């Protein structure tokens, strides 16, 4: 039996006063983030909003990289979202990481490949995973550190991209430990030279600082 048409008048329809602004912000967020799967991303967006979590929204639209030969899924903007959502936990449960990854419409195979680079048994230590993700973006150790600085910095875009020396040293040491070609002595020498160089800068490391040390080391 067909459902009869129901007529409503304006007085019968109640529109929550906050709905227009919610939908406006949602639309702007979707335009900035450009998710591959709008429905999946929308689930993550409203789930985060309902639970008071950081929203899966990029700060700005990312332009495609002309030199990139293939689309690897993960981008600097998406990794920055994940860092905002998960970094405060320190160690993240695998199901939660998988959920956040999926809500950003990232390929699960890429996540599995990153996790295989270390032995994450009792959860995923976030800063180690973050470092591995930066290496997936960068290709080389130097490029990986550049991505890390640009994501973690509080400096304005286009600035020095400074981060605390201890944070830099942790990421650099961890990634270097996975590279058999980097000797421990060379790593220690580089970090000591870098620490000495930034001592007068309250131990904040910028991209120019470690690039200079790298050239002179």
pLDDT in tens, 45-83: 999 999 999 999 999 998 765 444 445 589 999 999 999
Residue 92 and residue 42: Cα distance in Å, rounded? 22
Q: Are residues 121 and 147 in the same domain?
A: no
**Is 156 among the domain residues?**
yes
Among residues of the chain, what percentage have pLDDT more than 90? Answer: 66
Q: Where do runs of H (alpha helix) occur along 89-140?
A: 94-103, 108-115, 126-138
**Is 213 among the domain residues?**
yes
Residue 124 and residue 147: Cα distance in Å, rounded? 20
What DSSP string describes 199-213?
GGGTTEE-HHHHHHH
**Is 203 among the domain residues?**
yes
* Residue 168: both structure tokens together: 């830099």
User: The pTM is what?
Assistant: 0.87
Q: Are residues 29 and 103 in the same domain?
A: yes
Q: Are residues 215 and 149 in the same domain?
A: yes
Helix (H) or strand (E) holding 190: helix 184-197
- The range of the structural domain enclosing residue 211 comes to 139-217
CA 203 to chain centre: 24
* Residue 151, domain CATH: 1.10.238
How many distinct structural domains can be found in the chain?
2
Q: CB-based contacts of 134: which residues, under 8 Å, 6+ apart?
A: 79, 144, 145, 147, 148, 151, 171, 175
Could you report the per-residue pLDDT of 137-191, keeping only the tens digit for each? 988 899 999 999 999 999 988 888 999 999 999 999 999 998 877 777 888 889 9
Residue 136 and residue 113: Cα distance in Å, rounded? 10
Q: Are residues 30 and 114 in the same domain?
A: yes
Residue 103 and residue 112: Cα distance in Å, rounded? 16
- What's 34-45 look like in SS3? CCCCHHHHHHHH
């Amino acid at each position: 039996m067909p459902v009869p048409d129901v007529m409503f008048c304006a007085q019968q329809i109640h529109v929550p006063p906050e709905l227009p602004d919610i939908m406006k912000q949602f639309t702007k967020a979707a335009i900035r983030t450009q998710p591959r799967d709008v429905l999946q991303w929308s689930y993550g967006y409203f789930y985060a909003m309902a639970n008071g979590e950081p929203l899966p929204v990029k700060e700005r639209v990312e332009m495609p990289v002309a030199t990139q030969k293939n689309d690897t899924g993960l981008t600097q903007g998406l990794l920055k979202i994940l860092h905002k959502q998960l970094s405060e936990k320190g160690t993240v449960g695998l199901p939660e990481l998988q959920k956040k990854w999926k809500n950003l419409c990232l390929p699960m195979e890429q996540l599995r490949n990153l996790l295989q680079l270390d032995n994450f048994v009792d959860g995923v230590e976030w800063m180690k995973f973050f470092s591995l993700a930066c290496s997936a973006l960068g290709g080389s150790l130097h490029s990986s550190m550049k991505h890390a600085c640009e994501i973690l910095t509080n400096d304005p875009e286009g600035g020095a991209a400074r981060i605390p020396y201890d944070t830099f040293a942790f990421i650099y040491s961890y990634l270097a430990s996975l590279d058999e070609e980097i000797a421990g002595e060379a790593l220690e020498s580089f970090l000591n030279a870098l620490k000495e160089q930034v001592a007068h800068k309250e131990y904040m490391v910028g991209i120019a600082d470690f690039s200079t040390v790298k050239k002179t080391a």
